[in-house]
Amino acid sequence: MVDIDNLNEMMEFATMEPETIKQIWRDVKANHDKLDKCEGPHEFKPIPVEGKTLVRDYLCSKCGGKIDAIHKIWYERGLEHGKNQ
């Protein structure tokens, strides 16, 4: 389901220059490379954004990779479940 925030984001994306889209893709790949090469476990700390208090991105203090709040929750839940194996 696409909410209004996603729709605005998609509309912005559709009007971007191809080189801007390519740079975003390179940035995404570089971030995934950092996360994949992390010695682990990640240690995510919130990245403060002015005007936003609930929806945050997090930065791993070990590898410098970024992740959103939802992925952080599931990552940490996976760590907890893994301890109980």
Residue ranges that bind Zn ion, judged by CB under 5 A: 38, 42, 60, 62-63
Question: CA–CA separation, 34 vs 57, rounded Å?
Answer: 15
Instruction: Compute, in degrees rounded to 10, the torsion defined by CA atoms 9, 14, 20, 21.
Output: 90
**Cβ 45 to Zn ion shortest distance, Å:** 11
Question: CA–CA separation, 46 vs 55, rounded Å?
Answer: 10
Q: Which is nearer to Zn ion, 9 or 27 (CB)?
A: 27
**Cβ 30 to Zn ion shortest distance, Å:** 14
**Cβ 44 to Zn ion shortest distance, Å:** 8
